[in-house]
A and B are shown apart, each in its own frame.
Chain A
Amino acid sequence: MTTSNTYKPLTDQQVEQIKTQGCRADDWSAVTVADGFDPGRVHDVHFEGSVKIGSLAGTVTSASGLDRPCGIEEATLINCTLGDGVRIANVGSHIANYRVGDGACIEDVGVIQTNPSATFGNGTEVEVLNEGGGREVSVFNAMSSQFAHLWCMHRYRPKFIDKLEAFAKAQADSARSDTGTIGSGAKVSAVGRIIDVNIGDAATVWGASALVNGTILSTDDAPTLIGDGVQAHDFIVGEGTKVTQGAIVAKSFVGQGCQVGKQFSAEGSLFFANCEAFHGEACSIFAGPYTVTHHKSTLLIAGLFSFYNAGSGTNQSNHMYKLGPVHEGKLERGCKTGSFSYMMWPCRVGPFSVVLGKHTRTFDLSDLPFSHIEAAHDGRCMVVPGLNLSTVGTIRDGAKWPTRDRRMGQLKRDRISFDVFSPMVVGRMINGHDRIKELIANTDKSVDTVTIEGAQVKRVLLRGGVKYYRSGIYTYLLEKVVSRIERAVEQGVSLDKALADTPGSAYSEKWVDIGGQMMPAKRLEDLYADVESDKIADVAAFEEALDTIHVAYADDEWAWVRQAYKKVFEADLDAFKAEDAVKIADQLLTDQSKFLKLILIDAGKEFDTVTQVGFGQDGSADDVAADFKAVRGEYDTNKFVKQMKQAVEDLNTRIEKLKQALAVCA
């Protein structure tokens, strides 16, 4: 938004000219113009109140992509300030109380108006997770997923919550204005009604039905699109986001790099970086980064999600209550729900788990990440702990998320920890491993199933759970230590120095996932304290503190790895010797190779004869294989399979190289 013009009154000659071009004004002295104003470009315009007009020279690109002459035609302008190089044409009713930036193009609109004391969606109370309230978040333009997560979820820290509420209120108050903004280079076309909406630089609003009380954040490097048939009320939409194709957005915040469309309906919900929502419905959800729902009949309600993929017909219910909707669900990062899966809240699903079937019992499987969770015919929850650790899906998801970050601009509000294996998730695996071992020790062999936090496990599968988790824990810890040793060898740093704690790092056994950002619980405790003591006194300082925590992730992770290594292997990294390094390098080679080979076996399932059922339509048995090969390719030439095989080879080479280097050092 520029428009830093100095405006001066029209000359008598200019007034006469534009009068002859069908223009009228309640008070011509209130119509002022910038240097270079061309009266020949103003036709059939009614001016009311104070109207300031820029140079109107040249052409501007319209929403449809055509270059059109700058100027004002067939419009009523009330208390508006227009920058240079603007085009306004065919305004059905009026544009009132707006600043229009340089190079903006507004065509074929019904009404654009700002009412007194508008806040443009800021301060809208969104009833997240609970339609009946209690976790309301008042949204504001600069809100990050971390801020929203803490405000929504940590109500057990009332003093902290009061402060966050005050920060948010200050943000909403600062957005308050009698005048709205249409940013520089913005294109607004074929829109019925825009009331109390700020539109950022370079945004395109084309074909929307009605936009009321909202902000469309947009920048030159991350332009935002609001498209056909969109109805949005009480909203904020982030930079680089597309809301299109008849989407309905009400009392919702849609963050950066999101896509919402194909008649999706969102109410009382928060969506953060890179979410995708098509066809279905969201009601009172917290959609953390990379929450994805693509299909009709999918209702996400009263739940917390992130890095999530909803299968078609996924549904939950929060209605088993008498005094209002109290039930909530938590699907921790990386979960998937299969087609027509249903969960009766409250439930808690551990990270990277898959949920299938209709679940009508409450369960809490937070400490069993990577689990396969399937409903029995009677709605009981049956779990296979850790089964998804070595599946193709988990590995592919982990690789794809960082490459699919659609946030194009420099400003990225949400901090995202992408690691699949992290102290938070591996810590849960350690908890799960210990819990299952305890169950094995205390369960007689005559028992068929055992209950674990509301879910049931076939007793014979317990041993497998221990093996899966042990494999994941070992691989993670060994990889972290070995890669540190590799760096030390390369840089000529001594082992004891390389394996020492990093000064300033923070250690907690427990790690937390705050809206996609993982951190040790101690960092969060410090943040609470700094906010509660007013050391952090506004949103900017709060976000800066979260940035600092984000930067410290690797050091904090190492502090955790050191302690976990001691606990798991009963060995102290402070007393580590070169011969120990060789041993753990060999162990990593064994464990990680086995892990990668399990993934290859899982990939192989997608090429077996059962998978080929459905191929070779109208052909012979030979045609089945030929058709499958033509459509899906072959195992040996599959890109993912080749990558995994290469990873096994690379690991061998890497470990051999390290062992040689260690021998030289010795």
Chain B
Amino acid sequence: MSDTIERVKKVVAETLKIETSMIKDESRFVEDLGAESIQSVELVAAFEEEFDIEMDEQGALGVKDVGTAVTFIEKHL
């Protein structure tokens, strides 16, 4: 779990070009981390590559914050 969180934060930081320290478990991608609409697509793609999984797009695009992203990804691992 903790490993997944750290890797998720690393991906988020790289994709949104922000410091990892700014990212909390409860951070919302749009409201708190300033993700643009298109970056949500990029985040899904980056998670897929980082964890070598194929995420269900219907669910993935509904993930709005770091915590739910971690839960969602762990289901696919």
Contacts and interface: CB of A to CB of B under 8 A. Distances in A.
A319 interface: no
Interface string A452-477: 00000010110110010000000000
A387 B40 CA distance: 12
Interface stretch (A78-86, A294-302, A593-601): A593-601
Interface of A: 372, 374, 384, 387, 445, 458, 460-461, 463-464, 467, 594, 597-598, 601, 604-605, 609-610
Contacts of A609: 31
17 contacts: A372-B38, A384-B41, A458-B42, A460-B42, A460-B45, A460-B46, A460-B48, A461-B45, A464-B41, A467-B57, A594-B57, A597-B58, A598-B57, A601-B57, A605-B37, A610-B30, A610-B31
B44 interface: yes
Interface SS of A by simple majority: helix
A387 B57 CA distance: 12
Contacts of A597: 58
Contacts of A374: 38
Contact of B58 (A461, A464, A594): A594
Contacts of A372: 38
A281 to B, nearest CB: 30
Nearest to B62: A601
Contacts of B45: 458, 460-461, 463-464
B49 interface: yes
Contacts of A387: 38, 41
Nearest to B49: A460
B61 interface: yes
A609 B61 CA distance: 15
Contacts of B61: 598, 601
Given A461-B45, A594-B57, A598-B61, 12 more contacts: A372-B38, A384-B38, A384-B41, A387-B41, A460-B48, A460-B49, A461-B41, A463-B48, A464-B45, A594-B58, A601-B58, A610-B31
Most buried by A among B45, B48, B61, B62: B45
Q: How large is the interface on B (under 10, 10 to 19, 20 to 34, 35 or more residues)?
A: 10 to 19
B44 A464 contact: yes
Given A460-B46, A463-B48, A464-B45, A598 B38 contact: no
A5 B37 CA distance: 70
Top 3 closest pairs, chain A to chain B, by CB: A460-B45, A460-B46, A597-B58
Contacts of B44: 464
Contacts of B49: 445, 460, 463
Nearest to B30: A610
Nearest to A460: B45
B35 to A, nearest CB: 10
Contacts of B30: 610
Nearest to B45: A460
B42 A598 contact: no
A467 B37 CA distance: 19
Interface string B29-66: 01100000110011011101100000001100110000
Nearest to B61: A601
A644 to B, nearest CB: 13
Contacts of A467: 57
Nearest to A382: B38
Nearest to A605: B37
A458 B15 CA distance: 10
A445 B52 CA distance: 12
A609 B30 CA distance: 10
B33 to A, nearest CB: 12
A601 B38 CA distance: 14
Contacts of B46: 460
B17 to A, nearest CB: 12
A609 B31 CA distance: 9
A601 B37 CA distance: 13
B37 to A, nearest CB: 8
Contacts of A463: 45, 48-49
Nearest to A465: B45
A255 B42 CA distance: 43
Contacts of B41: 384, 387, 461, 464
A445 B50 CA distance: 11
A601 B61 CA distance: 8
Nearest to B60: A601
A638 B49 CA distance: 36
A605 B36 CA distance: 13
A426 B48 CA distance: 26
Contacts of B31: 609-610
Nearest to B11: A460
